Amino acid sequence: MPILVNLDVMLVKRKMKSKELAEKIGITTANLSILKSGKAKAIRFSTLEAICKVLDCQPSDILEYTEE
Partner 1 sequence: MKMFGKKSVSTLLFYIAKATAIGYGIFLLFIVFAIVTNSFLSISDHNFQIKIPFTNSVIKGAYEINTFLSIIMFFLFYVSFFYVLSLVFKTFKAEILFSKNAIQHLTYFTIINLFFPILYGSIRLLIFQGGNFNDFYAVFLHIILGIFALFIATIFKQGVQLQEENELTI
Amino acid at 7: L
Minimal distance, residue 58 CB to partner 1, in Å: 18
Contact pick of 10, 11, 21, 35 for partner 1 (by CB under 8 A): 35
47 is a site residue for partner 1 (CB under 8 A): yes
31 is a site residue for partner 1 (CB under 8 A): yes
Contact pick of 12, 26, 41, 66 for partner 1 (by CB under 8 A): 41
Cβ proximity of 64 and 7 under 8 Å: no
34 is a site residue for partner 1 (CB under 8 A): yes
Alpha-carbon distance of 51 to 54, in angstroms, equals 5
Cβ proximity of 18 and 33 under 8 Å: yes
